[in-house]
Amino acid sequence: MQARLILILLLIAFAAVSRSVLAQDKGTLDPQPLPPLANPNDPKIGAKQLFARKLLPSAQPAKVIGAYNKGCLAGAAKMPWDGDTWQVMRISRNRYWGYPGTLALLKRLSVKAHKDAGWPGLLIGDIGQPRGGPALSGHASHQIGLDADVWLTPMPDHTLSRQDREEMSATMMVRNDRLDIDPKAWTPQHWMVLRDAAQEPAVQRIFVNAAIKKALCREATGDRHWLEKIRPWWGHDYHFHIRLRCPPGATECHGQQDQTGGDGCKPSDLGYWFKESVLHPKPEPAKPRVGITLAQLPKDCKAVLNAPNAKPQ
Ligand SMILES: [Zn+2]
């Protein structure tokens, strides 16, 4: 009887682990081009189909157009795959493009986190597509080159192979019951890296799993002002999401208000996220969605889409 119980518990634990591993998409060493669209001028086609087929940025000056979840990016720059204190992951996704200021921020943060927190370096996940815009998978935002995902796994001490970059799993930071961080994975360096990111004036918000926000609230010492920018959001068990404010003078960028209301650590701030219905939402059947069309994006996104390719960087 007891052996059966142990077996059942092991199976449950295994199911939980395999689910959390699957929750992180792997890349491929052999990315295949998307098939051409039968009728790319069909006004009813999802804009994601058009933007996902652009493999290089537009040959235009860098310009942020629209909102984080409804826009595009002209003249994107490429995040170099390797630096002393960063490496780009999941190269096959071709989402290492961003507004130049975003890439400068990531580079600066990687150096600062290395110095302040002893963090070896940043593993960079998705930034944006070469021309921004909606994507076929993964995000509603990341459309205007001002969002970037950074793994919560420290960079290994060697240059990762292409295969590692596609297949290595990030570290799961959240405990199985989802009520707190996993103490085996979480370190004081984690909150220092998040603090360094939040203290950057160009950063407006950072999204993390609620369990991580809870840990930050408990552990952060000294000035706690930066906690105001860190916001719980679904997912984000393996990575944090940095969102930059609109760059100065970017008149076509539709930004957001700064967050207010203090450090967000009160039980009334966090309680919502630990309700049963939020921790374990009922799975919704996946419906194929067209998503927003080109006509629903800002007008200039059509010019971004139709502009010639920039030279490979
Ligand atoms: Zn993200």
Residue 15 has pLDDT above 60, yes or no: no
Say if 137 falls within a structural domain. yes
Q: Give me the chain's average pLDDT, please.
A: 91
Single-letter code of the amino acid located at 309: N
Say if 45 falls within a structural domain. no
Say if 274 falls within a structural domain. yes
Q: From the CA of 6, how far away is ligand 1's center (Å)?
A: 38
Q: From the CA of 91, how far away is ligand 1's center (Å)?
A: 16
Contacts of 171 (CB under 8 A, 6+ apart): 151, 152, 153, 185, 238
Q: From the CA of 125, how far away is ligand 1's center (Å)?
A: 8
Residue 23 has pLDDT above 80, yes or no: no
Q: From the CA of 140, how far away is ligand 1's center (Å)?
A: 9
pLDDT at 102: 98
Host domain of residue 208 = 62-280+287-296
Say if 54 falls within a structural domain. no
CA distances from 41 to 15, 137, 307, 308 (A): 45, 22, 15, 17
Residue 12 has pLDDT above 50, yes or no: no
Q: What is the CATH number of the domain that holds 82?
A: 3.30.1380.10
Say if 22 falls within a structural domain. no
Average pLDDT over residues 41-46: 95
Mind listing the pLDDT tens digit for each residue in 181-199? 999 999 999 999 999 999 9
Say if 207 falls within a structural domain. yes
Q: From the CA of 148, how far away is ligand 1's center (Å)?
A: 6
Mind listing the pLDDT tens digit for each residue in 134-181? 999 888 999 999 999 999 999 999 999 999 999 999 999 999 999 999
pLDDT at 282: 86
Average pLDDT over residues 3-9: 45
The count of structural domains within the chain is: 1
Q: 263 near 227, Cβ under 8 Å?
A: yes
Q: Give the least confident one: 33-37, 203-207, 226-230.
A: 33-37
